[in-house]
Amino acid sequence: MQRGELRSVLLDALPAGTVRWGHRVRAVRDRGAGRHELTLADGATRDTDVLVGADGAWSRIRPLLSDATPTYAGVTMVETYLDRDGEQHRAAAALVGGGTTLALAPGRGIMVHRERFGRLHAWAQMLVPPDWADGLDGTDPAATTARVAREYDGWDTALTALITGRGTPPVVRRIHTLPAGHRWERTPGVTLLGDAAHLQPPNGEGANVAMLDGAELGRALAAHPDDPEAALTEYERDLFPRAAAAATESDNYRRLFGDDAPHGLIADFDAAHRAAA
Ligand SMILES: Cc1cc2nc3c(=O)[nH]c(=O)nc-3n(C[C@H](O)[C@H](O)[C@H](O)COP(=O)(O)OP(=O)(O)OC[C@H]3O[C@@H](n4cnc5c(N)ncnc54)[C@H](O)[C@@H]3O)c2cc1C
């Protein structure tokens, strides 16, 4: 499912006006007794009796609960979309077929998904220092493309065409992570979910786990309508082990781009195949 469609499914299930767009939280203050004051970007303030930090990797709410901040995970991705019929990447499009292609080498990978309407979604993924992308601020797409292409010097042009072909302007993403097993002491009136709680490098599960957190939190609040503290306690009791288990399963990058790439992933496929047989 495409992310935008999933987002529409979730938003359309809510009564109109539930989500108030354009209310960016700039600051949050503990007012004691489980209450918090939010200051919004326009300077307006709001008091909360239950505050859920669902605000992603760089959560403004997390510091109320924990000193943890995301650290660089060693991987930088450069993302682009290409139309199906682009002349320059016809050979690559044929390689991808109707699904996904992964081309893996030590420290480098190119991954491509076939998406809706035949579009190709391509990722160059590199184990590089955090300063690799310094200066690539999106204002000069050709400079970004050239820097990525240098990293794939000598690769088959059918694959590098996915980077150099005329796609959407490349977007650079430095991947960050919270410590595996990140947790906090129960603190009245506030909790976290999704990436705010347990940011991990992408492993195909982040959105699933975030939605599950939201569903479990909703269920706990509905089960204790007059006692949000009981609900938050129950929610966090299950959240921490669930998030820790998902994190230990997610050391994808060493497996995908480790020194023996692509054999780590091949071994995984073999093991899965044997388990299913
Ligand atoms: C490159 C990449 C590829 C990925 N691929 C996949 C994949 O294939 N499958 C998968 O399941 N997961 C994938 N993930 C992970 C997935 O995107 C996240 O785990 C998921 O989006 C987490 O959802 P969330 O709601 O917790 O946070 P987010 O999706 O980050 O949502 C946080 C929201 O909070 C808002 N916000 C932030 N700050 C404020 C503020 N101060 N005030 C108000 N609002 C604020 C943001 O605007 C945003 O809407 C990928 C991640 C990356 C980086």
- Probe residue for ligand 1, chosen from 59, 195, 208, 256 as the CB with the greatest number of ligand atoms within 8 Å: 195
Task: Extract the tokens encoding 196.
Answer: 């705010």
Q: What is the pLDDT of residue 134?
A: 95
CB-based contact 165:82 (threshold 8 Å): yes
12 pLDDT higher than 80? yes
Q: What is the pLDDT of residue 250?
A: 53
- Put simply, whether the predicted model's pTM sits higher than 0.85 gets the answer yes
Q: Look up the CATH architecture of domain 3-67+184-248.
A: 3-Layer(bba) Sandwich (3.50)
HSE-up of residue 114 (Cα within 13 Å, Cβ side): 14
Residue nearest to atom 27 of ligand 1 (CA): 56
- Probe residue for ligand 1, chosen from 55, 172, 256 as the CB with the greatest number of ligand atoms within 8 Å: 55
Q: What is the pLDDT of residue 41?
A: 95
86 pLDDT higher than 90? no
Average pLDDT over residues 111-130: 91
84 pLDDT higher than 80? no
Question: Hey, how many other C-beta atoms are within 10 angstroms of the C-beta on 101?
Answer: 18
CA of 55 to the centre of ligand 1 (A): 8
Q: What is the pLDDT of residue 254?
A: 75
Q: What is the pLDDT of residue 248?
A: 67
The class level of CATH for 71-176 reads: alpha beta
pLDDT tens digits, one per residue of 222-267: 999 999 999 999 999 999 999 988 886 556 777 788 899 999 889 9
Q: What is the pLDDT of residue 54?
A: 97
CA of 54 to the centre of ligand 1 (A): 9
- How sure is the predictor about 56, in pLDDT bands with cuts at 50, 70 and 90? very high
Q: What is the pLDDT of residue 85?
A: 63
**Ranges of each domain in the chain:** 3-67+184-248, 71-176
CA of 56 to the centre of ligand 1 (A): 5
pLDDT tens digits, one per residue of 127-181: 999 999 999 988 999 999 999 999 999 999 888 988 888 789 999 999 999 999 9
C-alpha to C-alpha distance for 232 and 218, rounded to whole angstroms: 10
Residue nearest to atom 30 of ligand 1 (CA): 56
190 pLDDT higher than 80? yes
Residue nearest to atom 52 of ligand 1 (CA): 202
Q: What is the pLDDT of residue 158?
A: 86
C-alpha to C-alpha distance for 248 and 32, rounded to whole angstroms: 35
